Amino acid sequence: MCNNNTTFNLKTILITGATGFLGSHLASALVKEKFNVVALKRKTSSISRCNGFGEKITWINIEETNELKKRISEFQPEILIHAAWSGVKASERDNREGQEININFLSSLLETIKGSSVKKIIAFGSQAEYGKFEGAIDENQPCRPDSVYGETKLKTLQLLKEFSENHKKEWYWLRLFSVYGPGEDKSWLIPSTINNLISGSEMKLSPCEQRYDYIYVKDFADGIIRVVNKKENESGVFNFSSGQSISIKDIVTFLENKLAPGKGILKIGALPYRSGQVMHMQSISDKFFRTFDFCPAHTIYKGLEETSDWYIKNNGQ
């Protein structure tokens, strides 16, 4: 039986990527649980995703200080959560120069926290590290990335692991599959479908028989908090998703029936599958669930309800 009850201890957490989709939900959950949150951001980064709780975060603009290490040490963070990553859109994933920025940033960040109070590092990988596969896989699946994005994630893991073991820090690399929810970039499938249904704009789709593994972003954040609060050192690589797959057709049909029933906005089957289309991609997340005594609280349909309601309330933004 899953147990999602946790006793929280006050900690100071340093986080990157708090202005992004995943990072903002994670920062919100950390603030709600009364953690001290210190977030690194670029001077030009918008904090609009943090409206309503951003004032409870201590923000440090990376470009505004030449003494970043000293600035961070003032807060004595115990945990680093590295959620920043540039180049996540499909059109950016094979841009080698753009992807390597991520390795350089983490390398610089690790140098900054060397010898600091940080004892635990949590960072996010991707199913793209495995390359192309069909079916449900666990962490024993060989990594054969077929994109620069996947290659870069794998190199980042190696960098994190080597640094952490050399400097006696706990490390957790969580391989994510598909995370969805309020505030996701509107170019992705679920927000794009919702916005088209709200606006009444025709949307052409493939036959939508693919089965993918989605986890609601609030469950994602809850899971990371479980990692934050883990007392024993369980360093390693973990797949992290819902552990269940659902067809794309079931998702879009559910949204259509909720938002625009009978209007025929979604043209399922109007487009062919792309070349090499993966039809079944699912995470076996048993290791994560067992280690951190966690299971998702939201069914896919409950998460889709909350997500679509959010987009309606926020005019599709």
Query: With bands split at pLDDT 50, 70 and 90, how would you rate the model's confidence at 317?
Result: low
Q: Please name the amino acid found at residue 76.
A: Q
Burial 224-241 (b: 16+ CB within 10 A, else e): bbbbbbbeeeeeebbbbb
Q: Which residues pair with 13 in a beta bridge?
A: 37, 79
> What is the model's pLDDT at position 80?
98
Q: In 3D, which of 76, 79, 12, 86 has the Cα closest to residue 45? A: 86
Cα 317 from chain centroid?
19
pLDDT at 180 over 70: yes
pLDDT at 63 over 90: no
Handedness of CA 85, 91, 92, 96 (dihedral sign): positive
What is the value of pTM for the model shown?
0.94
61-82: average pLDDT = 89
> What is the model's pLDDT at position 6?
44
Query: With bands split at pLDDT 50, 70 and 90, how would you rate the model's confidence at 90?
Result: confident
Q: Which residues pair with 126 in a beta bridge?
A: 176
203-219: average pLDDT = 98
Q: What is the pLDDT of residues 1-11, one digit of tens each?
A: 465 544 444 68
3-state helix, strand, coil in the chain (%, to 5): 40, 20, 40
Handedness of CA 300, 305, 306, 307 (dihedral sign): positive
pLDDT at 46 over 60: yes
40 in Cβ contact with 104 (< 8 Å): no
CATH fold for the domain made of 12-180+214-242+280-297:
Rossmann fold (3.40.50)
3-state secondary structure of 117: coil
Query: With bands split at pLDDT 50, 70 and 90, how would you rate the model's confidence at 66?
Result: confident
Q: What is the pLDDT of residues 219-273, one digit of tens each?
A: 999 999 999 999 999 999 999 999 999 999 999 999 999 999 999 999 999 999 9
Mean pLDDT for the chain overall: 94
